[in-house]
A = this chain, B = another copy of it.
Amino acid sequence: MNENLFGGLYKLLAKNQLKELKDELSDMAYPDIADFIMDLDDDKLAVKIFRILSKDISADVFAYLEPDRQSVIVQSITDSEIGRLMDDLFLDDAVDFLEEVPANIVRRVLANTDKETRDLINRFLKYPENSAGSVMTIEMVELHDRLTVAEAIKSIRRTGVDKETIYTCYVIDDKRHLVGTLPLRRLLLNEEDTRITDIMTDDEQLVFVKTMDDQEEVAALAKKYDLLSVPVVDTEDRLVGIITIDDIVDIIEEEATEDFEKMASLLPSEDGYLKTSVFSHAKNRIGWLLILLITSTFTGQIIEGFEMQLATIAGLTACIPMLMGTGGNSGNQASTLIIRGLALGEIKMKDFFKVLWKELRVSLIVGVILGIANYLRMLGVRLLTGDNVTDSVILVVSLSVVAVVIVSKTIGCTLPILAKALKLDPALMAGPVITTLVDAISLLVYFGFANLLISM
């Protein structure tokens, strides 16, 4: 969908040729129609366009709209229109929408849905955030374990229209226990009189989650087993829903975004950057900054204890930012690799000593190269500026660089794994936390070397 086509739509809108506009829109993909409705500056216009959409696609388009526009639309349509909209929406989309809009809209919407849907929605709204239950949908294909291939295909043809996916079918027994899964592909490529229990995936190969499992677990299983949907069972192993791959892709993006945010000392935000208010942005950022400001008192105290030497030995103070920067960046490199490795399941707790041994060797190589580079740099600066930095100061700073790299990489790889061991989120042990710790240790190392090597 290119911008030019939106141009054409705007033209029709300007001329008020609604009939032609409706025709144009009905040829477009749902996400593109939603993009156009989101692109409109005026809420009233957005409602007007939404209402000219033909009835059979309006719910599909609605599911792709942002919550603010969804609210506006629901506030502007009639009760019976709301009823039909809620009927046509997949349950997971309806729940997504109701989770985001104000309470008065939720009340009005629920008042206009039939009792069955209302009860379902209420149950879904009660699942904890980020649980499998909160993201699942109930529109799956269930097949009874008595059926043959031909009967199963007939049943799918009859009921499939309203299902979110028909590509993986779920086989249940009389008590609704999940007993197997059956890809539509396998149904189609088998003989008509084959019993589905003979070709379904069962036992050890059966992959599922419980309603209260974390959505991260769902994403991990779908990735590992290349699934198009993951079944969800209740505490008694009865099938209650499925999570489809399009929602799993969203979960993967969401979890990565959360890690990015945590690693930059931000509280995770519910909405995207532009949708989040200035006040929420400030709230998400202030916490960690305050903590880091207060803990910086320690580095301040370390420097104050060394203030006399800093004041009398030329060049010592000037190198503090470089040392702290090198330490922070080195530690951050290590922690980022470990946090990501843990998140992707590539690094396990039992690999700790392997990781530590690797980091020690890497930091030795990197530290020595940086130390030599720093030695040459400071010699160069002295040559160019004629400052009175002594050879011993240059030596102290360069040795400190080596030590700081080693220390910071060790801390950087240890903290995330330690956090995981303590059932904390490894992503919280990223940049800022490590930097603060590394800052203090770097200064102690630096001043230690200075005391040892420079005759006072």
Q: Which residues of A contact B (CB under 8 A)?
A: 1, 5, 27-29, 31-32, 153, 156-157, 160-161, 166-167, 184-185, 188-189, 201, 203-205, 207, 222-226, 228, 245-246, 248-250, 252-253, 256-257, 259-261, 263-266, 272-274, 278-279, 281-282, 285-286, 288-290, 292-294, 296-297, 299-301, 303-304, 307, 310-312, 314-315, 317-322, 324-326, 328-330, 332-333, 335-341, 344, 346-347, 351, 354-355, 358, 361-362, 365-366, 369-370, 373-374, 377, 381, 385, 387, 401, 405, 431-432, 435-436, 439, 443
Contacts and interface: CB of A to CB of B under 8 A. Distances in A.
Contact of A310 (B311, B325, B347): B311
Contacts of A274: 341, 346-347, 351, 354-355, 358
A29 to B, nearest CB: 4
B344 A257 contact: yes
A320 B318 contact: no
Contact of A322 (B300, B325, B346): B300
Contact of A253 (B252, B288, B347): B252
A337 B432 contact: no
Nearest to A190: B157
A329 B29 contact: no
B188 A273 contact: no
A189 B203 contact: no
Given A303-B321, A365-B282, A293 B370 contact: yes
A321 B296 contact: yes
Nearest to A34: B224
A346 B269 CA distance: 14
A362 B282 CA distance: 5
How many identical chains are in the complex? Answer: 2
Contacts of A293: 322, 325-326, 370, 373-374, 377, 401
A328 B435 contact: yes
B265 A5 contact: no
A409 B264 CA distance: 13
Contact of A320 (B156, B320, B328): B320
A29 B317 contact: no
Contact of A273 (B289, B337, B431): B337
A161 B184 contact: no
Given A321-B296, A321-B303, A336-B263, A204 B29 contact: yes
Contacts of A205: 27-29, 32
Given A285-B330, A340-B257, A366-B289, A435 B307 contact: no
Contacts of A385: 301, 304
A296 to B, nearest CB: 4
Most buried by B among A5, A272, A318, A435: A318
Contacts of A346: 272-274
Given A259-B260, A328-B328, 5 more contacts: A228-B228, A274-B341, A274-B351, A297-B381, A311-B312
